[in-house]
A = this chain, B = another copy of it.
Amino acid sequence: MNDTKTKILDVAEGLVQRVGLNAMSYQHVSDAVGVRKASIHHHFPKKENLVEALLERCHFSYGDNYQTIVDGAGSAPDKLRQLAAVFADGLQKQQLCLVGTISADLNTLSESSRQALEATIQETVNIFVIVFKQGQQEDSLSFSSLAEEAAYAFFSFLLGAQISARACGGEESFRNATEAIISSWEN
């Protein structure tokens, strides 16, 4: 992969996570990368191309990140705490989960970006589901709903907690809230 192109994606990703999609401009990216704005357009003609590239990359980087945790050793509650820790890391840098910020601007997205977003969310939740199924099998987690629903709920909680903790309460509130959720499922 081209070096500049990767740098553009890195910078854009950080900006979107910090200030949101609509406050991230090609000029900001251009300044930070050190190439002219037209060069950003050379690599990503329209903003929606950039957004979709970000989502695709997220699917192959964050997805791997989650997958590693899920595939690792340890109990299901442990793995939920590790997944939450990924979100806590972002929070520390005042950054939201990419999927979360982009979802917040859903109604300003193109149709193709919306579809890319939906697919990324679905795949992320699918990875989370594995932990809840493990929890059922080893009897370390108890929940009356389906594993799919619990995984979706947990992912949603992490998105929301990151947003509210950044605005009010910070990392400590995030940790406490996470523990409040996980312990309610833990056996």
Contact = CB atoms under 8 A, between A and B. Distances in A.
Counted per complex, copies of this chain come to 2
Contact of A168 (B117, B149, B150): B117
A73 interface: no
A4 B94 CA distance: 37
A178 to B, nearest CB: 8
Given A18-B107, A19-B108, A94-B107, A165 B156 contact: yes
A173 B152 contact: yes
A167 B121 contact: yes
A23 interface: yes
A135 to B, nearest CB: 12
Contacts of A34: none
A122 B173 CA distance: 12
A177 interface: yes
Nearest to A106: B167
Given A149-B180, A160-B163, 5 more contacts: A18-B107, A103-B163, A104-B104, A145-B180, A157-B160
Interface of A: 18-20, 22-23, 94, 96, 100-101, 103-108, 114, 117-118, 121-122, 143-146, 149-150, 152-153, 155-169, 173, 176-181, 183-185
